[in-house]
Amino acid sequence: MNKKNQNPDRGDLQQNLSEKFVWAIAYGSCIGWGSFILPGDWIQSSGPIAASIGIFIGALLMIIIAVSYGALVERFPVSGGGFAFSFLGFGRYVSFFSAWFLTFGYICVVALNATAFSLLIKFLLPDVIEFGKLYTIAGWDVYITEILIASILLLVFMLISIKGASVSGSLQYYFCVAMVVVVVLLFIGSFFGSNYSLDNLKPYNGTHYGWFHAIIMIVAVAPWAYVGFDNIPQTAEEFDFPPNKTFKLIVYSLLAASMTYIMMILYTGWLSGGSSDLWLTGSVTREAFGTIGLGVLSIAIIMGIFTGLNGFLLSSSRLLFSMGRSGIMPSLFSKLHKRYKTPYVAIMFLVAITLIAPWLGRTALTWIVDMSSTGVSIAYLVTCLAAAKLFSFNKESQTYGPVYKVFAIIGSIFSFIFLLLLLLPFSPASLSMPSYIALGGWTILGLVFFFIRLPKLRRMDKDELSQLILDTRKRDVEKMIEE
């Protein structure tokens, strides 16, 4: 039999991710540590009410973008959704770069969460961390102790990820439950705090800007604040439920994330009394509830860090697995563990890269993470454009979906605007110069790797490539798009 007529080997990932596990992967990844660290920054720039409105509008815009993800997962429930959808819409070359930037974006979030854990320990127990100073990078003192703590944490989550999606998913769910319980307790408890006052919410839109500017500044950070809902499509091949439930789970995760952000913004706002401490949420918690309250808040932060580490390591490894399985990246990344059926080589490779991060210092790492938001926004744009290309207004087409097509077009516009807000120098959310340099460096590295892989990319059989990435023959995909 001709090899081209055979179905290529796509591996044997286990279908053991339940609906609640998948929801937890998205919700926990969206929240991370940001909802407990950043409210003070947002309040000082935009005021608590304008910031809350901005973060909610951001969630609604993400839901519009998520329509395309849900619709495409329903058609193509495969691993590495972000990579697969860019291949569907634009072929092997564009999908290489789209996945290149998205994978790096995910890796940066993993690295940032690991160093955030060291930062929390540094805040709570400075005498423990500030030992064994090595050097200073961009004004940040780097200690051997914080490097060891972040590195051990990364290795622990590497082992968890290798154990399997069901282990990662169940841990993610319990982390999320603990985080939600703590957030609700803190929010309700804030009404009884000694410094609680609604007057503390004034000025509602901050002291620097009008309402529109104050809200837009927060809306602009939505791709970063909600990055994580797109982890769901990366794991679609491991769902133990129908893929048509994907969009519902994404919406639930985004709404839950927005409510968590808003609760923490209001909590920080009405307890602040005009304070301008570096970590406002932590300082108002300590003032209102003492060391015990700060300890409770720390539990929520730790759960957020763990969910970010777990969720993004899971999704980035599936993205790299899908690229390796197709041959667009080295096939070694598609190798599955004999017992756990997980892409353990991809997981170990990603963790090996993130182990560099703790040595860079927090300031330098923040520049790289800011740049990674660009990669996520590119993935949003490419996915929405792919959905707009696939779905049709033609009633005779097998991909007839006027609602999906309209939302895909609107989602493409919003994604493009988010990208402009990051890249245009005069934008309120523009990247810093070091972030532009990091973006340029990663682009050049991607071009070098691309040209190394180009001869291999050109030789790939189109039909086999389509089956490996989309689990669908090329002629069937072309028929969908052409109708």
Name every residue whose Cβ is closer than 8 Å to that of residue 209 and which is 6 or more positions away in sequence.
Answer: 45, 46, 217
Query: Which domain CATH number covers 337?
Result: 1.20.1740.10
Decide: 247 and 22 in contact? Cβ < 8 Å.
no
**H/E stretch holding 137:** strand 133-137
12 occurs within a structural domain: no
Domain count, the chain: 1
Domain for residue 57, yes or no?
yes
Domain of residue 316 covers: 19-451
3-state SS string for 172-185: HHHHHHHHHHHHHH
Torsion-angle region of 205 (φ positive above 0: left; ψ -120 to 50: alpha; else: beta): alpha
CA distances from 324 to 299, 317, 319, 320, 340 (A): 37, 10, 9, 6, 18
| DSSP code for 67 | H
The whole-model pTM stands at 0.90
420 found inside a domain: yes
Residues, the chain, total? 483
SS3 140: strand
Residue 450 CA: distances (Å) to CA of 221, 347, 436: 30, 22, 21
Give the integer Cα–Cα distance in Å for 109 and 296. 24
Q: What are phi and psi of 47, to 5 degrees?
A: 80, 155
Domain-located, residue 285: yes
Query: Is 1 among the domain residues?
Result: no
| Residue 3 falls inside a structural domain | no
Ranges of the chain with pLDDT below 50: 1-5
Q: What angle do CA 479, 482, 483 make, to 5 degrees?
A: 85
Determine, yes or no, domain membership for 9: no
Burial class (CB in 10 A: 0-12, 13-18, 19+), 338: exposed
Q: Which pLDDT belongs to residue 1?
A: 37
Between CA 257 and CA 270 the distance in angstroms is: 20
Tokens of 232: 């769901």
DSSP class of 12:
-
- The predicted pLDDT at position 398 comes to 83
pLDDT of amino acid 209: 81
Q: For residue 10, is it within any domain?
A: no
Burial of residue 403, with CB atoms counted within 10 A of its CB: 0-12 exposed, 13-18 middle, 19 or more buried = exposed
Give residue for tokens 């007057």. 199
Cβ atoms of residues 237 and 77 within 8 Å = yes
| pLDDT of res. 255 | 96
- Residues 147, 153, 156, CA angle at the centre, nearest 5°? 140
pLDDT at 4: 47
Please, are residues 474 and 462 in contact by the beta-carbon 8 Å criterion?
yes
End-to-end Cα separation, the chain, in angstroms = 31
Residue 135, strand partner residues: 142
